[in-house]
Amino acid sequence: MRVHWASLLSGTAVGFALQYVHLVLLSQRSFQQDDTTKAPYRQGILQTAWNRLKFGFSSTFSFRDINLPTQVKNVPEFSKGLGQVPSRKGFILQQMITAIICGLVLDISAIQSPPPDNADIFAWENVPLLTGSHNMTGPKVILKLVTTLVYWVNMYCVMQFVTSLFAIIAVGLNISYVAQWRPLYGSPLEAYTLRRFWSVFWHQTLRQILTDPASFICHRLFHLSHGNFTTRYVKILLTFAVSGTLHALAELGAGLELQKSGTMRFFCTQVVGIMLEDGIQAVYPYFSRRSNHVSQALWMRLVGYLWVLAFLAWSTPAWFYPNAARGVREGFLPFSVVKGMLRV
């Protein structure tokens, strides 16, 4: 099996395990209690095996609970606007175009084979946390910026490619409705803070299964009160720790040993960045002078984009470099359209 597929399938398996924890153990959702089973499920034959099967299927695969009372926060609307759903044919065509574009991006990124000194370039020694800044030469800084951008674009395209394929199949076969397939990602223009990068721009597919265990540990195990400073950041830390565990196990399924993985470090350091920007945003009004609100908002957003890029360029290598050092020569797709075109 291809390495990227193994990682995706392993992560999906862990995701479904966390979904079980969320549905059965923490929220204790059931056919009898769930609001979505009242009508039309209970009209006619009461609690039939078919209705139970539909409820179980929809609950298992509905990670964002779209259009339900339990819908996760910040699920993007369709581009037509609030409440406007594309036509079935238009949606399928749009998803086909999206899948093709994402597939081509992934194909292009896999054309270049890893360099011979790949293991040295992406060695763990080149992923300093707070030390080793004296080794940060210009080329290494540029490398971090470029690899960070490429890595995140690839992850974006992988998730969107897979989601678009499933959307085409599900809607095309009338397994689900277009309204249940709201956009996976928000606008990148919303990513002017780390908090908004993760909670508004990036996909919210894992939000419930990550935050539920964190809330359970905070409030039911440690009995931390709601809303105070400590609880807020402990919960964020635990959420990222659960996410790091999921992604580390996904890498393990693809052959990367846990002791060589920097995934947990990457996800947990996101909390440091969020705390820093929260602190700056809290004290900034006390030191800023009154100015034109429009120009102030513009430059603050520009600074925010640079901050997010810089922080991700600093933290992402801990996640990316151990994988890159392996020198995997296969792409995500089992074939290459671009290579075939270049040979012609």
Which pLDDT tens digit goes with each residue over 58-75? 889 999 999 988 999 999
**Which among 287, 318, 4, 291 is positioned nearest to 130, based on CA atoms?**
318
DSSP 95-122: HHHHHHHHHHHHHHHTTSPPPTTHHHHT
Phi-psi bin for 131: left (phi > 0), alpha (psi -120 to 50), beta? Answer: beta
pLDDT category of residue 141 using cuts at 50, 70 and 90: confident
Q: For residue 52, what are the contacts with CB-CB under 8 A and spacing of at least 6? A: 31
Record the pTM: 0.89
DSSP 13-35: HHHHHHHHIIIIIIS---TTT-G
Which pLDDT tens digit goes with each residue over 80-108? 666 689 999 999 999 999 999 999 999 99
Query: With 50 as the cut, is the pLDDT of residue 41 above it?
Result: no
- Output the pLDDT for position 227: 82
DSSP 276-327: HHHHHHHHHHHHPPP--HHHHHHHHHHHHHHHHHHHHHHHTHHHHHHHHTT-
Q: How far apart are CA 180 and CA 88, in angstroms?
A: 12
Domain locations in the chain as residue ranges: 3-27+70-333
DSSP 187-214: -GGG-SSHHHIIIIIS--TTHHHHHHHH
- The encoded tokens of residue 98 equal 């999206």
- Output the pLDDT for position 88: 95
Which pLDDT tens digit goes with each residue over 122-134? 888 888 666 555 5
Mean model confidence pLDDT for the chain: 87
Distance separating the N- and C-terminal Cα atoms of the chain: 29
Collapsing DSSP to helix, strand or coil, 128 comes out as coil
Looking at per-residue pLDDT, the higher value among 302 and 55 belongs to 302
Average pLDDT, integer, range 257-286: 93
Query: With 90 as the cut, is the pLDDT of residue 285 above it?
Result: no
**Residue found by looking up tokens 């990068």 in the block:** 197
Query: With 70 as the cut, is the pLDDT of residue 169 above it?
Result: yes
- The encoded tokens of residue 220 equal 């039911």
Q: How far apart are CA 327 and CA 334, in angstroms?
A: 17
The dihedral over CA atoms of 75, 81, 82, 85, expressed in degrees to the nearest 10, equals -80
Q: How far apart are CA 296 and CA 134, in angstroms?
A: 35
- Output the pLDDT for position 93: 98
pLDDT category of residue 144 using cuts at 50, 70 and 90: confident
Write the single-letter amino acid at 316: T
